[in-house]
Amino acid sequence: MATLHDLTLMEVRQLLERREVSPADVAESSLRRIDDVEQQVGAFISVDGDLALQMAHRAAGSLKKDGTGEPFPLAGIPMQIKDSICTRDLPTTCASHMLEQFRPGYDATAVAKLFSERAILLGKGNMDEFAMGSSTETSAFHPTHNPWDLERVPGGSSGGGAASVAAGEAYYALGSDTGGSIRQPASLCGVVGLKPTYGLVSRYGLIAFASSLDQIGPITRDVSDCALVLSSIVGHDSMDSTSISAPEPDYVSGLTQDVRGLRLGVPREYFVDGVDSKVEGAVREAIRVLEGLGASVVEVTLPTTPYALACYYILALSECSANLARYDGAKFGYSHQEAATIWEGVEKTRQFGFGEEVKRRIMLGTFALSTGYYDAYYLKALRVRTLIRQEFDRVFQECDALVTPTAPTPAFPLGERKDDPVRMYLGDIYTVPASVAGIPAISVPCGFSQGLPVGMQIIGPSLSEGTLLNIGYAYEQATTWHKLRPPQ
């Protein structure tokens, strides 16, 4: 029999429902796994074992909802939460010295929803500082290592979440995705990651990087687990002005494996020079599998794709410049105390509180918003964003979903791109278009290159999460990639 930490969320849920294990058994198994591998993987910024066990004992007394007899879907299942998502009275640092001592007075809405279902929190996930990075190397505390090869990155910025799930430390994680920060690390770590439609999951309690792009979403071992977690966190929230009112389907019941008649578009701009040949081969083979299951495949074109990356970085960096202006040492967070004037205090606070990548992005964003450059950069990027959205709308009249690589390469060595920001940014080239358009996308494991996982990205129109999950599920049931585990 597989050890508990090797199982999926759904498998553990079944054991709990049959009372073959208790929530405490599951929590203790996860904590032992963290003890065994965390020193090598570095997926967490903080772990609170006492809290996890307290929550496990609470869950044991209420695995089922009062009055209905139905089980709480996530009761007794240990999780990790990205450290940019607020958790009341617990560290929420954004992997930055600026917020090293910050303890929020409230839970993010998505976290509160999970807690209401008696989920168990193991700790907070490592990340790129303020979610600014694609490798989880810009964390102020330590880098995270890919469980498939400890000398390689797990991706970012939600690298801690992807690594913790891949390594069996947590059964699922909540991450945030601005330009690919859930999907890219999911691809590099061989797990499933979904970015929902913008506004489908509340952003209340998510410390903002780029407010018009950020979305909270799940990272899991397989698509069934992803559907279960997503069902638990969606919903309109009056505390979030960007939250939308939309149906809240049971995504699990929609997993039928039936993709017959679906039209899948393959954008030619996503299969060009620069993509690793084995990555392309794995994704094209995955497309053939879906075609064999009854889906039809058509080549489509998205001509603005080459401009999406530049558009994204102008918008995201401009918004980060505005959002991070609040960290001035006067209100909360780190405050430099050895300054002659208030202005020197602000300067020194930001100098020592922020890391190099965050400061680089703030300066670039401030430049794009400055007098004389606003029209040339920010306003033009907004217009390109509209074109990208319109282009996706046009393509989705021809097909139901798009299938692409998630990342152009498998996981790269730690340190290889840290001093080459442009090359690092190019790793997001396949994930940013969906973010700019505000539409959902999921990454599903589909093969290996150089012994490292490869992810297939499935993109759909707004509120098509159910369709994307079912496509991923049908593919998953026809293959075994999602069942493989790292050697560590």
For the segment 458-472, the average pLDDT, to the nearest whole number, is: 98
For 426-443, write each residue's pLDDT tens digit: 889 999 999 999 999 999
Give the per-residue pLDDT at 66. Answer: 63
> What is the C-alpha to C-alpha distance for residues 436 and 359, in angstroms, rounded to an integer?
23
Give the per-residue pLDDT at 340. Answer: 86
For the segment 30-53, the average pLDDT, to the nearest whole number, is: 98
Domains contained in the chain, CATH given:
4-256 (3.90.1300.10), 305-383 (no CATH)
| Interacting residues of 422 by C-beta distance below 8 A, sequence separation 6+ | none
Asked whether the predicted pLDDT for residue 332 surpasses 90, the reply is no
> What is the C-alpha to C-alpha distance for residues 264 and 257, in angstroms, rounded to an integer?
15
For 374-420, write each residue's pLDDT tens digit: 999 999 999 999 999 999 999 999 999 999 999 999 999 999 998 88
Give the per-residue pLDDT at 68. Answer: 67
For 73-83, write each residue's pLDDT tens digit: 999 999 999 99
Give the per-residue pLDDT at 189. Answer: 98
Q: What tokens does 195 get?
A: 């970015």
pLDDT level of residue 173 (50, 70, 90 thresholds): very high
Closest by Cα among 239, 288, 282 to 453: 282
Place of tokens 């300067």: 347
Percent of the chain with pLDDT over 90: 90
Place of tokens 């979610």: 131
- The predicted model scores a pTM of 0.97
DSSP element (H, E) containing 386:
helix 380-395
Asked whether the predicted pLDDT for residue 67 surpasses 70, the reply is no
> What is the C-alpha to C-alpha distance for residues 357 and 363, in angstroms, rounded to an integer?
10
Q: What tokens does 474 get?
A: 């049908």
As a whole number of Å, the CA-based R_g of the chain is 21
Q: Per mean pLDDT, which range of 33-42, 45-54, 97-106, 326-335 is the poorest?
A: 326-335
Q: Per mean pLDDT, which range of 231-240, 256-265, 327-336 is the poorest?
A: 327-336
Give the per-residue pLDDT at 422. Answer: 86
For the segment 170-196, the average pLDDT, to the nearest whole number, is: 98
Q: For 297-371, where are the alpha helices, taking DSSP H only?
A: 305-323, 342-353, 356-369
| Interacting residues of 454 by C-beta distance below 8 A, sequence separation 6+ | 187, 278, 279, 282, 283, 405, 406, 410, 445, 446, 447, 448
Give the per-residue pLDDT at 412. Answer: 97
The single-letter DSSP state of residue 256 is: -
Give CA separation, 263 vs 89, 300, 401, in Å.
Answer: 48, 11, 7
Asked whether the predicted pLDDT for residue 180 surpasses 80, the reply is yes
| Interacting residues of 19 by C-beta distance below 8 A, sequence separation 6+ | none
Q: Are 199 and 40 in contact (CB under 8 A)?
A: no
Asked whether the predicted pLDDT for residue 1 surpasses 60, the reply is no
Give the per-residue pLDDT at 215. Answer: 98
* HEC sequence for 6-67: HCCHHHHHHHHHCCCCCHHHHHHHHHHHHHHHHHHHCCEEEECHHHHHHHHHHHHCCCECCC
Active site positions, annotated: 82, 157, 181
Give the per-residue pLDDT at 69. Answer: 66
The 3-state DSSP class for residue 124 equals strand
For 265-313, write each residue's pLDDT tens digit: 999 999 988 899 999 999 999 999 999 999 999 999 999 999 999 999 9
Residue 212 backbone phi and psi in degrees, to 5? -85, 5
Strand partners, 267: 300
Q: What tokens does 55 get?
A: 């929550």
Query: What is the DSSP track for 458-481?
Result: EE-STT-HHHHHHHHHHHHHT--G
Q: Per mean pLDDT, which range of 26-30, 148-152, 175-179, 246-250 is the poorest?
A: 246-250
Residue 418 or 222, more confident: 222
